[in-house]
Structure 1
Amino acid sequence: MDWQRNVLLAAIFAVFAVLFVRWNEFSEARLPKPIAATNQAVYIPESPPAATAVPTAADSSGAASRPTKTDASERLIRVKTDVLDLVIDTQGGDIVRATLPEHPAELSDDSPPFLMLNRTRDQIYVAQSGLIGANGTDRAEERPQFVADRTDYALDGSAELHVPLSYQQGDVSITKEFVLRKGSYLVDVVYHIDNRGTAPWSGRLFGQLQRDRHIPTSGDAFGRKSYLGAALSTPDENYKKIKFDDLNKKPFETELTGGWVAMVQHYFVSAWIPDQAETNHYKLRRLGNSDVYALGFVGPEHIVEPGQSGRLIAGFYVGPKDQAHLGEIAPHLDLTIDYGWLWWIAKPLFAGLQLLHNWFGNWGWAIIVVTVLLKLAFFPLSAASYRSMARMRKLQPEMQSLRERHGSDRQQLSQEVMALYKREKVNPMGGCLPMLIQMPVFIALYWVLSESVELRHAPWILWIADLSVRDPLYVLPVLNGISMFVLQTLQPAPPDPTQAKVMKV
């Protein structure tokens, strides 16, 4: 009876709903807890660890003055802007911690800022830079000890913040300067070489990211695992992803004029961007048998003649995957916002979303309007699909009659059905093809919604406080299920009664 079927369907739906909720709770319980920025102290090693693995140059015979021993507690300096909070170790001048004040780790008033770089006893994710070559200051067994004027630097309303670290190498004065700007996640790392000696100074600039395989946590409403690993531009590919497992097998090396190398994760990215006019050597590798990976670049040789000054510079980006800004920093760096092979559709869709967001001031309404506009644009195709379904529905009595007459002869039944389609000018695929044409656009929209950092912690209405996570009350999934059921009822029923019952269930 109908009421029995309805009760059975309701029970099945309830069971699936409970299983879905419990599975989500089980999955979330197994995820690693977010690392709170305020509870993780920066680890200060007494000497450069073996995993430092400073790149080597062809000629490294030059002598560098041995760094002065400095108390470990005095080695760290803190640098703050409106969007970055960095900790720099004066031994080597590496960025050993980076948090993003504009991006809280969780959606709560007391949430710490999102933690990008960190060096603890259990975790390493740092940005290193230095000088190698004939007169380089950096060795695998020895890093230079810079001297800073103070231990705290803050932007304090200025447009730029300069953080100079000084080091004396015989008659050569070396200043490693970090330049930060208001509202920018890009840090310029500049080496000023002042050669007051009698011999030429020679060196190469290197920059590299060191990271282990720890998995950061981030909310994802779309139930998928985002890419975590290395990426860079190469002469053959504008955006090449290299997984940790690939580096376990063999290192990757390439040379390129300009270019960049990045560590990519969901919503955020860190990247070294060397001088775009120079030819740089890129190398990505696993450090020995450890769980630590290094990806970086080595620039060309620079020579500073006696009595002259020189400058070596590279950019370091650490922050959100901001499509507009990444594209301005370096060619193809915006491809780290991984829209997949449908990026050529996804980018215009995101531009449309951004335009509508500027009008409405709300990403949720922007998504709804874009979806409505896409449905209107595809309405002719959808209408053709529905008309084809309607014609197929009208043919159901005749098809049922044919089945009763030729049910035992499958070949004859197929011939009669095809003749019916031809006589009535009905294409059995007419209801599917228009839908298939729309699929790439909506798949691209899916990637836009899942990859856009702008949706992270973005509210919509009422109980929807974060568009990047699932609906906590499961109202939207239920509404989506109802709409799918309504659409399914518009489709023609299969000629086989058993199949029709299965499809109805």
Structure 2
Amino acid sequence: MSIILNSFKWILDNLVLVVGDYGIAIVCLTLIVRMFLLPFSIKQKKDLVKQQEVTNKINSIKEKYKNNSKALEGELAKYQGEYLKSFGGCLVLIIQAPIMMSLYGVIRSIATNEGTVLVPWVSNISLSDPYFILPIIYMIFMVLPTIFDYLYNKPKSNESNIKTMLIMNLIFALLISIKLPVGLAIYLITFAAFSFGENLVYKVFLKN
């Protein structure tokens, strides 16, 4: 973990020398890391889709053979290998987690009295946003995926679940961002914006 953290710190320091602004450097570093993880993230999405498909098949088999345990056991055995393979998405998520945690730790440890052109109304990126503009932006990006899924898939019967998810996402985003330093808020917004764009491209262009 320390190797990853030190590598990110070195990259961030050099990005600051190039772009001359901590806020822009944070955006660049976050995007670089997200682009590096993009193939893993796409694989994760594909594996999760496969896992859901296999789960649906297994549930159908259990319902069909619920009164015939011997036939049920034989049918489930056919999907055992396929079901285990579908858990690849979980492994990919484990690979990504320490990388993103290290990136978060690097940005959290920044000690500077400088501001950023990205947030000109705050003089120091170690301070929180007094006007709550960044938390509002982050909240928007947190609910956009749910709204897009609703509009794209057009579900017929789970509107109440979607509303509940929207409210929970809004509360979660508000709680974690309302007092965050500007540097970390920029990281979270960049991360959320990239994730939304990635999901958008995947579902519209790459899913099939």
Q: Which residue of 2 aligns with 1:435?
A: 93
Asked whether the 8 Å contact 1:391–1:426 carries over to 2, the reply is no
2:21 is aligned, of 362, 365, 368, to: 362
Equivalent runs, 1:30-69 vs 2, <5 Å: none
Q: Which amino acid aligns with 2:46?
A: R
Distance 1:438 1:346 in 2: 14
Correspondence 1:482 to 2:143:
yes
Q: Flag the structure with higher helix content.
A: 2
Which secondary structure does the structure 1 equivalent of 2:25 belong to?
A: helix
Distance 2:73 2:125 in 1: 49
Q: Which amino acid aligns with 1:368?
A: V
Q: What is the deviation of 1:436?
A: 0.6
Q: Which has the higher contact order (CA 8 A, sep 6+)?
A: 2
Asked whether the 8 Å contact 2:5–2:105 carries over to 1, the reply is yes
Q: What is the deviation of 1:437?
A: 0.7
Distance 1:410 1:486 in 2: 42
Alpha-carbon distance change, 431 to 414 in structure 1, aligned in 2, over 3 angstroms: farther
Q: What is the deviation of 1:421?
A: 4.4
Q: Which runs of 5+ in 2 are unaligned?
A: 151-160, 166-208
Q: What is the deviation of 1:480?
A: 4.2
1:439-480 per-position Cα deviation (integer Å, ceiling 9, x unaligned):
1111111111111103x4522424662432444232233034
1:289-331 per-position Cα deviation (integer Å, ceiling 9, x unaligned):
xxxxxxxxxxxxxxxxxxxxxxxxxxxxxxxxxxxxxxxxxxx
Asked whether the 8 Å contact 1:388–1:426 carries over to 2, the reply is no
Distance 1:419 1:358 in 2: 57
Which secondary structure does the structure 1 equivalent of 2:89 belong to?
A: coil
Alpha-carbon distance change, 486 to 437 in structure 1, aligned in 2, over 3 angstroms: farther
Asked whether the 8 Å contact 2:54–2:83 carries over to 1, the reply is no
Equivalent runs, 1:106-145 vs 2, <5 Å: none
Q: What is the deviation of 1:397?
A: 4.4
* RMSD value, Cα: 3.8
- Percent identical among aligned pairs is 18
Q: Which residue of 2 aligns with 1:346?
A: 5
Alpha-carbon distance change, 385 to 344 in structure 1, aligned in 2, over 3 angstroms: same
Alpha-carbon distance change, 464 to 427 in structure 1, aligned in 2, over 3 angstroms: farther
Q: Which amino acid aligns with 2:118?
A: I
Could you say which structure has the larger radius of gyration? Answer: 1
Q: Flag the structure with higher strand content.
A: 1
Q: What is the deviation of 1:383?
A: 2.0
Q: What is the deviation of 1:350?
A: 1.1
